Chains A and B, each alone.
Chain A
Amino acid sequence: MALRQSTRRDRPEVSVPVTGLVKGRAAGTAATVGLAALGLAGCVTVNAPDKPIVIELNVNIRQEVIYRLAADAGDTIEENADIF
């Protein structure tokens, strides 16, 4: 039961496309409230696959970090041509 509840609360954030995480969170909260308002019958219909979770991990990595590391990563690939 506890697992179901957490699923219901978390999934709307996770399953929303990467482009609008903040928006997605707000929408997710709204969706949760909406679902709760509908009553107890058949709330758990959001069955997102595992895939979006992987993407969500990456969302935490900011573009500026990637830009800072880009040159070094490029060199690393050239210097380790056997494994790239």
Chain B
Amino acid sequence: MGLTMTKTKTILAGAAFALVLGGLAAPALAQRDPAYAAARAAGQVGEKMDGYLGIVGAETPALRRIVDDINIKRRAVYSQRAQANNATLEEYALTAGCQAIAATVAGEKYQAPDGSWQTRTAAAPLRDSRCP
């Protein structure tokens, strides 16, 4: 009896642990921070060719904070993935920039190969000729 109780407890504890783990793992696919999402939708920030986020119009401290925060995180991810793929940070970042620009939705800003900011439309974005 005592043994069964212990077993049940162990199973329950295991289930609880799994739940906690699941809860912790979920934010990995988290959504954009609301402030970032708003700035992006408003065209205040845009995707640059180099794989990082840029401020499109007038810079404000709040926008700078959002952009720096995102870019530091991106850089960390890029550097990890670049190493895993035997590529340089710049190569990986540029490739991610191609993909990030392709993934913009209508109304969002992105940087064209000439360096100008463009608003994404339903048409394909203007990208670097090396982009896949």
Contacts and interface: CB of A to CB of B under 8 A. Distances in A.
Interface of A: 18, 51, 54-55, 57-58, 61-63, 65-70, 72-74, 76-77, 79-84
Given A57-B90, A61-B91, A72 B98 contact: no
Contacts of B94: 58, 61, 66
Q: Is the interface of A mostly helix, strand, loop or mixed?
A: helix
B131 A81 contact: no
Given A68-B85, A82-B31, A73 B95 contact: yes
Contacts of B99: 70, 73-74, 77
Q: How large is the interface on B (under 10, 10 to 19, 20 to 34, 35 or more residues)?
A: 20 to 34
A84 B29 CA distance: 11
B39 interface: no
B91 A76 contact: no
A62 B98 contact: no
B69 to A, nearest CB: 9
Complex A-B, nearest 6 residue pairs according to Cβ-Cβ distance, in ascending order:
A63-B130, A69-B95, A82-B30, A73-B96, A70-B132, A73-B95
B91 to A, nearest CB: 5
Contacts of B103: 77, 84
